[in-house]
């Protein structure tokens, strides 16, 4: 059955609603709508629009009738009418006409511009916008913290104004942390648990996902052994046992908890909500499951709720790595596909992890 263009469809729909079609034509049009569900939806919207128009027209007729009755009454009982009353009657009628035209114009514009068909997309765009707003809020908070720190230490330009956590993603010096940690940085240094400090370059940032990729660029750095953990691509299950290691102070701190929600703040699908006590210095730290797979990256905590924090999902990290231009890298980023933590007890996992987790110092 050939699909009607928009003008043809409107003509058929109007004829159907006015009862101008023959029985054979009505059957054909009803079958056409069944065969094309999208057209059937348009027909329902068009019918609703006409119903609204008729209701507005009926109200207009009613107001006009009232106006005529009032006019007849005043003409019969009063020989003269003031100019103010006459003007008011005319304004009432004009206002009713204007209201009816406005109603028709609004519904016509919504239907013809595809408002109803785009409603679902608008909802999706709103979710994306909400996620962007959350990112902007994080960035503004980071800038405020940096400005406050600089103001209180303006006599020493090398004073650290932000400290957080980062961890290795490759054995040759690539490290991931949060974007809000390094934004506005003049220089970045990474310090391991032994106190050794290395200069790092910012290779790539993804503000939308709040991720930053760093690379250690220091002559004293030596590549480490194979990364002992792997990066989990699939979503983890609610209630799963998880833990993290980070630097809320100058020594590594362990935190244990569970995955409490499959989405982050305001329903953000790029993040988890986790039940682990965290502090600002934990930002950028890894979240691991019981087998030593990295499932996320600490990004912040929910104010007013103890133990409620958020972690960016690992798949967001993988997407970010895949989007880095090749000319920004020194060789390919090759992630570990062998997990040497899964068979170890938790205490031994932590001992092995500490060589791959750094304090991120921003100047």
**Predicted confidence (pLDDT) per residue in 182-221, tens digit:** 998 999 999 999 999 999 999 999 999 999 999 999 999 9
Q: What local confidence, expressed as pLDDT, does residue 307 receive?
A: 67
pLDDT tens-digit series, residues 275-304: 998 888 999 999 999 999 999 999 988 766
Closest CA to 359 of 230, 245, 232, 239: 245
Please give the Cα distance from 314 to 323 (Å, whole number): 14
Contact, 47 vs 13, CB < 8 A? yes
212 to each of 106, 177, 197, 317, how far by Cα in Å?
46, 5, 19, 9
- Residue 47's pLDDT band (boundaries 50, 70, 90)? confident
Q: Residue 6 above 70 pLDDT?
A: yes
Please give the Cα distance from 325 to 192 (Å, whole number): 28
Contact, 298 vs 244, CB < 8 A? yes
Please give the Cα distance from 113 to 261 (Å, whole number): 38
- Residue 100's pLDDT band (boundaries 50, 70, 90)? low
Q: Residue 155 above 50 pLDDT?
A: no
Closest CA to 174 of 156, 190, 196: 190
Q: In this structure, what are the phi and psi dihedrals at residue 34, rounded to the nearest 5 degrees?
A: -65, -35
Q: What local confidence, expressed as pLDDT, does residue 251 receive?
A: 87
Q: What local confidence, expressed as pLDDT, does residue 25 receive?
A: 85
pLDDT tens-digit series, residues 222-244: 988 889 999 999 999 999 999 99
Q: What local confidence, expressed as pLDDT, does residue 271 receive?
A: 95
Please give the Cα distance from 120 to 122 (Å, whole number): 5
Please give the mean pLDDT across all residues of the chain: 80
Please give the Cα distance from 137 to 204 (Å, whole number): 20
> Average pLDDT of 167-173?
93
Please give the Cα distance from 254 to 286 (Å, whole number): 11
Please give the Cα distance from 261 to 313 (Å, whole number): 12
Structural tokens at position 171 = 């054995």
Q: What local confidence, expressed as pLDDT, does residue 154 receive?
A: 43
* Residues forming a β-bridge with 13: none
* Residues forming a β-bridge with 163: 361
Q: Residue 53 above 80 pLDDT?
A: no
Structural tokens at position 183 = 């934004």
Q: Count of CB atoms within 10 A of residue 290's CB?
A: 13
Q: What local confidence, expressed as pLDDT, does residue 280 receive?
A: 81
Closest CA to 47 of 59, 33, 27, 62: 33
Residues ≥6 apart with Cβ < 8 Å to 83: none
Structural tokens at position 52 = 């609204």
HSE of 258, CA atoms in CB hemisphere, 13 A: 6
pLDDT tens-digit series, residues 315-345: 999 999 999 998 888 877 889 999 999 999 9
Q: Residue 126 above 50 pLDDT?
A: no
Which is more confident, 190 or 93? 190
By percentage, how much of the chain surpasses pLDDT 70?
71
- Residue 310's pLDDT band (boundaries 50, 70, 90)? very high
Structural tokens at position 22 = 């023959």
Please give the Cα distance from 299 to 322 (Å, whole number): 20
pLDDT tens-digit series, residues 242-279: 999 999 888 889 999 999 999 998 889 999 999 998 88
| DSSP assignment letter at 290 | T
Please give the Cα distance from 228 to 338 (Å, whole number): 7
215 to each of 58, 172, 294, how far by Cα in Å?
72, 8, 19
> Average pLDDT of 131-153?
53
Please give the Cα distance from 47 to 52 (Å, whole number): 9
Contact, 125 vs 133, CB < 8 A? no
């Amino acid at each position: 059955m050939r699909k009607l263009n928009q003008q043809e469809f409107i003509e058929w729909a109007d004829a159907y609603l006015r009862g101008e079609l023959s029985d054979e034509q009505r059957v054909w049009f009803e079958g056409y709508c069944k065969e094309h569900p999208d057209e059937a939806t348009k027909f329902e919207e068009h019918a609703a629009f006409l119903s609204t128009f008729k209701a507005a027209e009926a109200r207009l007729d009613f107001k006009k009738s009232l106006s005529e009755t009032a006019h007849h009454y005043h003409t019969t009982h009063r020989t003269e009418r003031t100019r103010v009353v006459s003007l008011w009657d005319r304004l009432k009628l004009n206002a009713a006409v204007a209201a009816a035209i406005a109603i028709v114009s609004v519904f016509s514009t919504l239907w013809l511009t595809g408002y109803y068909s785009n409603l679902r997309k608008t909802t999706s765009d709103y979710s994306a916008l909400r996620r962007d707003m959350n990112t902007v809020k994080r960035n503004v908070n980071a800038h405020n913290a940096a400005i406050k720190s600089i103001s209180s230490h303006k006599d020493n330009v090398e004073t650290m104004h932000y400290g957080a956590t980062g961890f290795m993603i490759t054995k040759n010096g690539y490290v991931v942390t949060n974007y809000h940690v390094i934004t506005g940085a003049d220089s970045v240094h990474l310090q391991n648990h032994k106190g050794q400090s290395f200069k790092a370059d910012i290779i790539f940032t993804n503000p939308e996902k709040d991720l930053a990729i760093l690379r250690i660029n220091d002559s004293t750095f030596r590549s480490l052994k194979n990364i002992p953990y792997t990066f989990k691509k699939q979503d983890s299950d609610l209630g799963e046992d998880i833990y993290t290691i980070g630097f809320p102070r100058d020594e590594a701190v362990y935190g244990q908890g569970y995955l409490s929600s499959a989405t982050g703040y305001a329903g953000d699908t790029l993040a988890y909500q986790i039940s682990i006590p965290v502090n600002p210095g934990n930002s950028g730290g890894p979240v691991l499951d019981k087998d030593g797979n990295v499932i996320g990256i600490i990004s912040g905590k929910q104010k007013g709720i103890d133990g409620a924090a958020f972690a960016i999902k690992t798949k967001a990290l993988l997407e970010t790595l895949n989007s880095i231009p090749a000319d920004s890298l020194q060789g390919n980023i090759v992630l570990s596909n062998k997990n040497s933590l899964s068979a170890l007890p938790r205490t031994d996992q932590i001992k092995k992890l500490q060589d791959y987790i750094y304090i991120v110092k921003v100047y």
